[in-house]
Amino acid sequence: MDKWDVIVVGAGPSGLFAAMEVKRLKPDASVLVIEMGKDLEERKCPLKDVGRCLACPICDIVSGFGGAGTFSDGKLNLTKDVGGDLASIVGEDDVWNLIDYVDRIFLEMGAPRKLYGEDQEAIEKLKSKALRAGLLLIPFRIRHMGSDGGYKVLMNFRKSLLNMGISFRFGAAVDRILVNNSHVRGVKLTSGEELESKYVMVAPGRVGASWLVKEARRLSIKIKGGKVDLGVRVEVPYEVMKEFTEVLYEPKLIYYSETFDDRVRVFCVNPRGEVVTESYWGIVTVNGVAREDYKTDNTNFAILVTTKFTEPYKDTIAFALSIAKMANNIAGNQPIIQRFGDLKRGRRSTPSRLSKSIVRPTLPSAISGDLSFVLPYRYLKDILEMLQAMNDVMPGIASDHTLLYGVEVKLHTAKLDLKKNLETKAIRGLYAGGDGAGVSRGLVQAAASGAWIGRDIAKRLHG
Ligand SMILES: Cc1cc2nc3c(=O)[nH]c(=O)nc-3n(C[C@H](O)[C@H](O)[C@H](O)COP(=O)(O)OP(=O)(O)OC[C@H]3O[C@@H](n4cnc5c(N)ncnc54)[C@H](O)[C@@H]3O)c2cc1C
C-alpha cells in the first residue's frame, strides 16, 4: 500500500493551504493531495464554446486544482464576520492572525494591493442610509483579484507547492476514509486503491459536502444541523449600485423580512461582472464572477434566504437541490431568467418580453421563464421584500427591467463535530476544514482553516 505522512482530500484553498503549511513547517514530511477534478491548466468549462451548461458529472467550475476558488470572483473578504464561522471554533485572536497570514500569502502570490472598504467616512454615510431603509450594512475590507487575476495567483501558488515537494493525484476521487480503532489509517479511492496515512485532512468543499456527510454518518462522527441558503441571482445596470460598490466593492446587506421575519442577505456582489452557471451532480445552478480584464455594463449579486430546519429534517442539501432540480426540469437543464416586472405581474418572461429589458443578460444561455413555479412562496416573498427595501437605498434595483436568475443555492453542509484544532472528535488524526466541513463559506476562511490544520499536523509530526 502506498504510504504518506499526510493525505489531503480536495485541492481547494483549504486543502492547498493545509498541504503548504505542513511542508513549510516540516519539509521532510511526505504530503499527497488527492483531487477528483483536473489540474489547473486542464480545467475548462464548455459553456462558452457550446453556448449552454452541459451539467458535466465533474464540473470544471467547482472541481480541480484550486477547487471552487479557481474560477471564483477572487474576492478576498478580510473579515471574521463573513465567509465562515472559524472564529467560533479557533477563537477571535487566532482567526485574525490566520486571516492576516492568508492575505500575506495571497499578496506574495501576486494578489493586487488595492483594498476596498477603508474609507470610514463614506462607509458611515452608506450605513446610515441603509439603516433608514431597514437594512443592516456590514462593511469589511476586500481585496479583489477577479476570476482572471485569481487564476494567475493560483498558477504561482501551484508552482510554489510543487517546488516544496507536495505530490498531487488528479482525477482520483476518495470513496472511503479508512479507520482502525478510532484512528485514521488512510483512504480508499473509487478505483479501489488504498493509500495509507497517519493524518488525513478532508476539505471536499460544497461539491463534496454530501459525500462527507455520508462518510461522517458511517464513521459515527456527530453532525450538527445544517442550514440552507436559497435564492436568486439579480442583475442590474452598474450605475444602480455604483455608490456602494465603489466604496465597498461588496455591500453586504442584511434584512429581516416583514412577512416571515426571515434573514435575507445580499451575497457575492460582482460589479461589472457576469452571471455564470455551476453544476452539482448534474444539477445546474447560478453564481456570479467579475474579471479584471473584461468589464460588462452590469452588476450582479445574489439574494439569499437562510433557513435552518428543526427536527426531524436534517438533509438541507437535498432540500436545496430538489428545488434547483425543479427549475432545471422546466427550463431544459438550464437556469431560468425572468424580468422583475414580469414576476411582479404574475407572468412568465418570454424571449420577446426579455428583449425589451434595458438590462442585457450576461448569461445568454438562461431560459426565459417563471421563477414563481419553482421557488416556495416563503422564499419568493422574502426576495420581493428585500428588493423593495434595497430600492430605497439604490433606486432602480426594483425596476421592471431588473433580471432574476434562478436558482442560486449555497450548500452549507452540516457541521462536523470538531475540536479546536479541527480534528474530528470521533476519529484521531482525521481533520476537516473548508466549506465542506461547515467551517467556512469563502476563500479566506477556507484557506485559514487549512493553514490552522496544517500547523497542528506539522506539530504532531515533529512529535
Ligand atoms: C463561481 C464562484 C464564485 C465565487 N466567488 C467567491 C469570492 O469572490 N470570494 C470568496 O470568498 N468565495 C467565493 N466563492 C466560494 C469559494 O470558492 C469557496 O468558499 C472556496 O473555494 C471553498 O474552499 P474549500 O477548499 O473548502 O473547497 P473547494 O474550493 O470547493 O474545493 C474542494 C475540492 O475538493 C474536491 N473533492 C470533493 N470531494 C472529493 C473527493 N471525494 N475526492 C477527491 N476530491 C474531492 C473538489 O473537486 C474540489 O476541487 C465562489 C465560488 C464559486 C463557485
Residue nearest to atom 2 of ligand 1 (CA): 72
Would residue 55 be called left, alpha or beta, if left means φ above 0 and alpha means ψ between -120 and 50 degrees? left
Atom of ligand 1 nearest to the CA of 65: 49
**Closest ligand 1 atom to the C-alpha of 13?**
25
Pocket-testing residue among 200, 274, 435, ligand 1, by greatest number of atoms within 8 A of Cβ = 435
Q: What does the pLDDT average to over 12-29?
A: 98
Q: Which atom of ligand 1 is nearest to the CA of 437?
A: 26
Residue 142 Cβ inside 6 Å of ligand 1? The answer reads: no
User: Ligand 1 in contact with 146 (CB < 6 A)?
Assistant: no
Would the CB of 9 count as within 6 Å of ligand 1?
A: yes
Nearest ligand 1 atom, CA 74: 8
Angle (nearest 5°) at CA 33 between 31 and 36: 165
Residue 302 has pLDDT above 80, yes or no: yes
**2-115+144-223+416-461 architecture in CATH?**
3-Layer(bba) Sandwich (3.50)
Q: Is 68 in the pocket of ligand 1 (CB under 6 A)?
A: yes
**Among 21, 103, 207, 269, which is best to mutate for testing ligand 1, by the most ligand atoms less than 8 A from CB?**
207
What is the DSSP secondary-structure string of 431-462? EE-SGGGTSBSSHHHHHHHHHHHHHHHHHHHT
Identify which of 442, 335, 320 has the alpha carbon closest to the alpha carbon of residue 12.
442
64-78, 229-243, 436-450: least confident range: 64-78
Q: Does residue 34 line the site of ligand 1, with CB under 6 A?
A: yes
Indicate if ligand 1 lies below 6 Å from the C-beta of 37: yes
Tell me, in angstroms, the distance from the centre of ligand 1 to residue 304's CA.
Answer: 19
350-396 pLDDT, tens digit per residue, is: 999 999 999 999 999 999 999 999 999 999 999 999 999 999 999 99
Lowest mean pLDDT among 163-167, 313-317, 318-322: 313-317
Position 346 pLDDT exceeds 90: yes
Kindly state if the Cβ of 26 falls inside 6 Å of ligand 1: no
Does the C-beta of 179 come closer than 6 Å to ligand 1?
Answer: no
The arithmetic mean of pLDDT across residues 417-425, rounded, is 96
CA of 66 to the centre of ligand 1 (A): 7
Give the whole-angstrom CA distance, residue 88 versus residue 95: 9
Q: Which grid cell sits at 32?
A: 499527497
Cβ neighbors of 268 (< 8 A, separation 6 or more) are 73, 75, 250, 287, 288, 301, 302
pLDDT digits (tens, 9 = 90+) for 90-99: 999 999 999 9
Q: Is the CB of 247 under 6 A from ligand 1?
A: no
Instruction: For 254-269, write each residue's pLDDT tens digit.
Output: 999 999 999 999 999 9
Q: Determine how β-strand 31-35 pairs with β-strand 167-170.
A: parallel
CA of 216 to the centre of ligand 1 (A): 19
More confident residue, 278 or 52: 278
Find the 78 Cα to ligand 1 centroid distance in Å. Answer: 18
Strand residues in 165-222 grouped as ranges (E): 167-170, 174-180, 183-189, 194-202
What's the 207 CA to ligand 1 centre distance in angstroms?
7
Instruction: Give, using CA atoms, the residue closest to atom 50 of ligand 1.
Output: 72
Atom of ligand 1 nearest to the CA of 443: 11
More confident residue, 143 or 50: 143
Q: Is 154 in the pocket of ligand 1 (CB under 6 A)?
A: no
Of ligand 1's atoms, which has the minimum distance to the CA of residue 172? 43
pLDDT at 283 over 70: yes
How many Å lie between the centroid of ligand 1 and the Cα of residue 384?
A: 29
At residue 133, the pLDDT reads 95
Flag whether pLDDT at 413 surpasses 80.
no
The whole-number average pLDDT for the span 306-315 is 77
C-alpha cell at 143: 481585496
Contact in structure between 53 and 405 (CB atoms under 8 Å)? no
Residue 310 has what pLDDT?
77
Pick from 21, 32, 36, 45 the residue to mutate for probing ligand 1's pocket: most ligand atoms within 8 Å of its CB.
36
How do beta strands 31-35 and 136-138 pair?
unpaired
Mean per-residue pLDDT over the chain, rounded: 94
pLDDT at 158: 97
pLDDT tens by residue, 59-118: 888 999 999 988 888 999 999 998 998 999 999 999 999 999 999 999 999 999 999 999
| DSSP bridge partners of 301 | 234
Q: Report helix, strand or coil for 380.
A: helix
Ligand 1 atom 27, closest CA = 205
**In a 3-state reduction of DSSP, which class is residue 235?**
strand
Spacing, Cα 205 to ligand 1 middle (Å): 5
Q: Whose CA is nearest to atom 41 of ligand 1?
A: 174
Domain locations in the chain?
2-115+144-223+416-461, 227-410
pLDDT at 320: 87
pLDDT digits (tens, 9 = 90+) for 169-220: 999 999 999 999 999 999 999 999 999 999 999 999 989 988 998 999 999 9
Please check the confidence at residue 1 and state whether its pLDDT lies above 70: no
